[in-house]
Amino acid sequence: MARAVPFLTFQTPRGQSAAEAMAFYVGLFPGGEVVSERRRPEGGPGAGSVEVAEFVLAGQTFRCSDSFVEHEWDFTPAMSVWFDCDSTEDLQRLVTALEEGGRVFMPLDDYGFGPFGWVQDRFGVSWQLAGPAGPA
């Protein structure tokens, strides 16, 4: 069966690390699990870095790798991961953890559609986090 999987490319020349990002994410999000990880062989370019890995957060599969080549592009907030939180406490915990060392685009607040925060984490990945909406 065909499937679409978000793919994250981390650039080691910019200090990004797929292994560090995966460890952070799977420890932070519910249902986090590294499914597979293949490293580049010693003696070659990018030795020891992540060639390709797969991880799951809250039932969503992601793939990622390290690029030992620095590219002209990087992550953009125009493409982000949306995450619906079960509680305002979980929303606060996630926003606080993800914004550390990163950047805040929309601080945690109620923008008329329930509590919401939009942050870019220290690895450059953008997250839009929504809490449960209040009574109508």
Indicate the class that CATH gives domain 80-130. alpha beta
Provide the residue ranges of all domains of the chain, joining segments of one domain with +: 7-67, 80-130
Other Cβ atoms closer than 10 A to 73: 7
- Looking at the chain, the whole-number percentage of residues with pLDDT higher than 70 is 97
Distances (CA, A) of 18 to 23, 51, 106, 108, 136: 9, 9, 25, 27, 41
Q: Among residues 61, 76, 75, which one has the least CA distance to residue 29?
A: 61
* CATH number, domain 7-67: 3.30.720.100
The string of pLDDT tens digits covering residues 73-97 is: 999 999 999 999 999 999 999 999 9
Average per-residue pLDDT for the chain? 94
pLDDT of residue 40 exceeding 70, the answer is yes
Confidence at residue 37, expressed as pLDDT on a 0 to 100 scale: 97
Cα 136 from Cα 129, distance rounded (Å) = 20
pLDDT at residue 134 in the model: 55
- Average pLDDT of span 98-120: 96
Task: Let me know if the fold of 7-67 is the same as that of 80-130.
Answer: yes
